[in-house]
Amino acid sequence: MTTLNTNHHNANRDHLFFNKKLGISYTENITTLSLWAPSAENVIWRIYDKGTAGRLIIETKLLKDQDGFWEASINKDLHDLFYTIQVKYQGQWLHEIPDLYATTTGVNGQRGMIYNPKETAPAQWDKDQYVSLKSYTDAVIYEMHVRDFTKHPESGVKDKGLFLGLTEESTHNSYGKTTALGHLEELGITHIHLLPVSDYCNLDERTPNEGYNWGYDPLNFNSLEGSYATNPYDGSQRVSEFKQMVYSLHKKGIGVVLDVVYNHTGIIEGNYFDQTEPGYFFRYHEDGVLSNASGCGNEFATEKLMARKYIIDSLKYWCTEYHIDGFRFDLMGIYDIETMNIIASELRKINPSILLYGEGWTADTSSLDESQRAVKNNTPQLENIACFSDNFRDIVKGPQFSDDSLGFISGLKGQEEDLKKAIIGGVSHPQVDPEYLINKGYAWAEKPTQVINYFSCHDDYTIYDKLKMVLPFEKEGLLIKRVQLAMAINMLSQGIPFFHSGVELLRTKKGIRNSYNAPDFINQVTWSSKKGSIAQLSKYIKHLIQLRKAVGAFRLQTQEDIAHNLIFMEEYHQGIVGFILRHKDKHSVFGHKLLVVFNNNSEAITVDIPKANWVEFDLQEYKTVGEPSSKTSITLEPISTSIYLML
């Protein structure tokens, strides 16, 4: 492995540049390029007519000031032209690259592109609004990959697999069932979370259908991925199509969260940061070897001022230019806590509702001490930033790293206390006894707004594949009941619910776990499934979301409120967890208390409940069943969620 000189005597004046604007500034009369590269000995700026090859039109040198800041201007209208920079470092010319701040690029991200941002805005874009949230717990997040979501032949979408595919209305499969954008609207989710849409390197944008990638191999962090555009050569096209997509979603009241991967680069040797200011942007061990907490070869040094500035500038750019509603930080455990808190406060100035969350872990060890990093156990030190709950995931479906592990939904018994811990959203509760927990790590959050509840996501098996693996002979009807149970726990728990696109369509990746580069037929959402019992599953999940939105008590914001208003049923039964939720909306059609009971047993079981006037609520039909009557016990159906209202 190559080691780099990390002794940056020139870089320790980096504080001088923290508020400088870097990258291209375009007007019709003049374009300026500003670059921070204090160790560079020379920098050439080249303008081309194409994104690759083509003709060199202008070549000029950037001028350096005494602090290592480089700049040059060209007095021409450069729109629709492409550019590179090339740095001379320690007597050697490094590679020609787009500058780090390039806001769009030619095909495959080899050159930056200069364009007029005003020409990329859809009509009414200036009236477009962020999706506002009173509380993080009001969000219902749906995780998807742009291409997976509309690629299937039965998506009914014209621009399959592209940003524009998410702008198309009134699309159907051959059974007449709503697909794509209309399906999202029907479900009632509040936010989509897109797997990385910034430019990544391991897919040839000229022939995207010959490959596939999730996108966790970032190349140009401020540019969009070209393979999702109708024309990957004209960099302004992807900008305008992505804006149309955001606008279409916003018109439906759906927010857009981007999965961002500033923790590492897709290319290790020769990455664009090291071609600009070699060795500055990454963490190293004392012997000069790259630290590798990403498990991909390097790890971004978020605590260094110009690295921190880079991330903050980039996020602010996405937020203002594209009206983005939130960010999900891949391997957030690599980021230092101070940077995360600055990100939250800076973005909140632009969009007060911005939704921020991340993975509170790393893929490998880091050279920066854990006490300084945004790992799950440090969640209380993060302001308005939530962490994924692996505890929730593991109790619901079974621990992630074991194929044959059982979770509550597959029939696990004896870990009911762990499910109670999941239901209260990672905070403390007087009725959850840490002594009885199998999975330690009690109360890692102070507030439910810090907790993302999920049981499956793009990583790992789909929930259907996981169930199929542990219960290979079970009939599909019963598997559907188990998926319903998983989604009911997800939607009726405290915290922020998050689910993987296609859970509601019994999505399968054909048993492939890490499908990051698997073909479309593995990864795509299969729209032809939406019929019969699977359409019913989709409807059930829509009703769960509707109930969560209707009853504020499922979306509490403090530990105290949860401890006060959520009372677990005391009597112990194997495979059963129930609670009564007191709610404040006095005149609600949902009475003044709700009883929710999860049963993972394969038989019907009768349990005692507090004597009161109860009426059952049918989630499949979203209505009460029969008349309210005084009851002291109820019968739980096999593998089910029962809901009763106290009137």
CA distance 64 to 71: 7
Beta-sheet strands, E only, within 472-604 = 496-500, 566-568, 576-582, 593-599
Query: Least distance from C-beta 214 to Ca ion, angstroms?
Result: 12
Query: Least distance from C-beta 107 to Ca ion, angstroms?
Result: 8
Query: Least distance from C-beta 96 to Ca ion, angstroms?
Result: 17
Can 338 be counted among the known catalytic residues? no
CB atoms within 10 A of CB 287: 6
Query: Least distance from C-beta 161 to Ca ion, angstroms?
Result: 14
Q: Report DSSP state, residue 164.
A: G
What residue spans of 201-336 are helical by DSSP H?
Answer: 235-251, 305-322
CA distance 429 to 421: 8
Stretch near Ca ion under the rule CB under 5 A, chosen from 60-68, 197-205, 530-538, 583-591: 197-205
Q: Which is nearer to Ca ion, 225 or 465 (CB)?
A: 225
Stretch near Ca ion under the rule CB under 5 A, chosen from 61-69, 196-204, 340-348, 527-535: 196-204
Q: What's the one-letter identity of residue 433?
A: D
Q: Which is nearer to Ca ion, 199 or 234 (CB)?
A: 199
Can 330 be counted among the known catalytic residues? yes
Residue of 330, 416, 417, 418 marked active site: 330
Sign of the C-alpha dihedral, residues 494, 460, 208, 362?
positive
3-class DSSP string for 354-379: CEEEECCCCCCCCCCCHHHECCHHHH
Q: Which is nearer to Ca ion, 143 or 199 (CB)?
A: 199
Task: Select the residue whose beta carbon is closest to Ca ion and give its number.
Answer: 199
Beta-sheet strands, E only, within 115-231 = 141-144, 191-194, 198-200, 218-224
Stretch near Ca ion under the rule CB under 5 A, chosen from 134-142, 225-233, 258-266, 313-321: 225-233
Query: Least distance from C-beta 223 to Ca ion, angstroms?
Result: 8
Q: Which is nearer to Ca ion, 137 or 198 (CB)?
A: 198
CA distance 570 to 303: 48
Residue of 199, 274, 325, 359 marked active site: 359
CB atoms within 10 A of CB 96: 16
Total binding residues for Ca ion by CB under 5 A? 2
Q: b or e along 154-181 (b: 16 or more beta carbons within 10 Å of the residue's beta carbon)? A: bbbbebbbbbbbbbbeebbbeeebbbbb
Q: Does 168 bind Ca ion (CB under 5 A)?
A: no
Q: Which is nearer to Ca ion, 266 or 278 (CB)?
A: 266
Q: Which is nearer to Ca ion, 199 or 417 (CB)?
A: 199
Find the binder of Ca ion among 199, 234, 277, 416 (CB under 5 A).
199
Burial degree of 258 (CB within 10 A; 0-12, 13-18, 19+): buried
Stretch near Ca ion under the rule CB under 5 A, chosen from 32-40, 136-144, 199-207, 543-551: 199-207
Q: Report DSSP state, residue 290.
A: B
Q: Which is nearer to Ca ion, 147 or 309 (CB)?
A: 147
Stretch near Ca ion under the rule CB under 5 A, chosen from 131-139, 157-165, 223-231, 253-261: 223-231
Query: Least distance from C-beta 145 to Ca ion, angstroms?
Result: 14
- Residues lying near Ca ion in the complex (CB under 5 A) are found at 199, 225
Q: Which residues are catalytic?
A: 330, 359
